Amino acid sequence: MDLLQKKEDLHMQTSEIASDEFFKFAPPFSEEQATSPENEARSAHKAAYFSLLSAFQSVCLKLKESDAKVDGNHLKNLIDQMVCFVKEDERMLLSLANAPYSFIMQNTGQNVFPTIVIHGVNVLIYSLKIALDLGVPDMRLPYICAAGMYHRLGLLDLDDQKLYSYTNTNDKKYLREVERLEQDSEKYVKRILMDDFHIESIQYLINLIREDKQILQKTSLREAMYQYSMLIHLCYEFEKLTHQPGYGEALSPVDAMRKVRDDMGNCFSPEIVKMFFNKLSIYPLGTFVKLSSGETAKIVQVNEQALLRPEVLVVLDGEGREKLSPGRLNLREKPNIYIRRAVIDSALTEKFIDLF
């Protein structure tokens, strides 16, 4: 089977999974646009994201309900699909990972544990994107994905009310409990069965993520396992800061990046922090910004050499009215226009999730 056929089969599988049971998008496309190869690919990528959420939630429920081993092979297959799709075109999956939890939960078709399931899948995507850019060997990518997704399974010891919430703002007792339970993820990880998968490597990576940051500070980038744990840890902190108001007000990506730089700059080598900034970007793909012109735009392309000047699609005019034909701007070529601030708006995400 050639590579093209494999990709077509993956798209077919995820499109079949993407039934009403899993998500209920209604993209703002005409019939002709919706059937274009590019939009069919984006639909398959969305299906893969929501299918992974659903499968991971199912595994979490089984882990919580009994002490028995749980079959994780379906998760392994979906992780392999994620690797393929991020390689193919990362934009849709990064847009979903950057979307507000409220938007994701409205479109899952079922209740999920946001601070374990959505958080875990988002960290998987961030970590995978950076790992691919770093040239991590293909055989190691599923381990980075699994460690990124599983590292918070210890929170399954919380009661259901807390598990289904992500708005425990300024509840210090809750935050201390979360910090304690995160240390116990290994007991759940070792109960997940995945064929031809060295689960001990995932446990080791998760333990490294929890190590004293001063240990990581002394570690060379050349030591692969430590490099991967640093990568996942930074993605974990970024996702937590941008999505979970239980850790204070949810920050915009640019403010979260600044906090990562200021709070963790002494804990990680400058090389690691710079790499993280360059790969995820201060204004990540799929997020929205207010321009100096008063218009609202969506980030559709990152300029790694000029992180403050990405390519955008202008979706709202200065009066907040939807543009009939969104205009594409490369801010690197428009020195008189600049980004004033980030915009976090679930309604904008809902309306323009498919726009690139």
Tens of pLDDT along 275-290? 777 788 888 888 999 9
Mean pLDDT of 231-250: 77
Confidence of residue 135 (pLDDT cuts 50, 70, 90): confident
Rounded mean pLDDT, 99-125: 90
Give the closest residue to 78 by CA, choosing from 111, 110, 51, 114. 51
* pLDDT greater at residue 259 or residue 70: 70
Q: What is the pLDDT of residue 53?
A: 96
What DSSP string runs through 322-345?
EEEEEEEEEGGG-TT--EEEEE--
Q: What value does the CA radius of gyration of the chain take, rounded to a whole number of Å?
A: 20
**CB-neighbour burial class of residue 220 (10 A; exposed 0-12, middle 13-18, buried 19+):** exposed
Written as six digits, the tokens of 269 are: 């080598």
Write the CB contacts of 231 (distance below 8 Å, at least 6 apart in sequence): 127, 130, 131, 134, 144, 272, 276
Q: Return the higher-pLDDT residue of 98 and 136.
A: 98
pTM above 0.95?
Answer: no
Answer for the pair 116, 163: CB distance below 8 angstroms, yes or no: yes
Please tell me which of 43-47, 183-187, 207-211 the model is most confident about, judged by mean pLDDT.
Answer: 43-47
Identify the top-confidence range among 2-6, 19-23, 273-277, 314-318.
Answer: 314-318
Domain boundaries, the chain: 3-280, 288-352
Contacts 24+ apart (CB under 8 A), 170-177: 170/248, 171/246, 174/246, 175/246, 175/247
Length of the chain: 356
Quick one: pLDDT at residue 20? 39
Query: According to the model, what pLDDT value does residue 186 have?
Result: 87
Cβ atoms of 47 and 82 closer than 8 Å: no
Is the pLDDT higher at 109 or at 192? 192
168 vs 124, more confident: 124
Question: Of residues 343 and 208, which shows the higher confidence score?
Answer: 343
Average pLDDT of span 317-334: 92
Share of the chain above pLDDT 70, in %: 79
Looking at residues 252-273, what average pLDDT do you find?
Answer: 75
Which of the pair, 27 or 274, is modelled with greater confidence? 274
Three-state DSSP class for residue 231:
helix
The hierarchical CATH code for the domain 3-280 is: 1.10.3210
pLDDT tens for residues 161-201? Answer: 888 876 655 677 777 888 888 888 889 999 999 888 777 77
The reported pLDDT for the residue numbered 242 is 87
For residues 136 and 141, give the distance between their C-alpha atoms in angstroms, rounded to a whole number. 7
Over the chain, what is the mean pLDDT?
Answer: 80
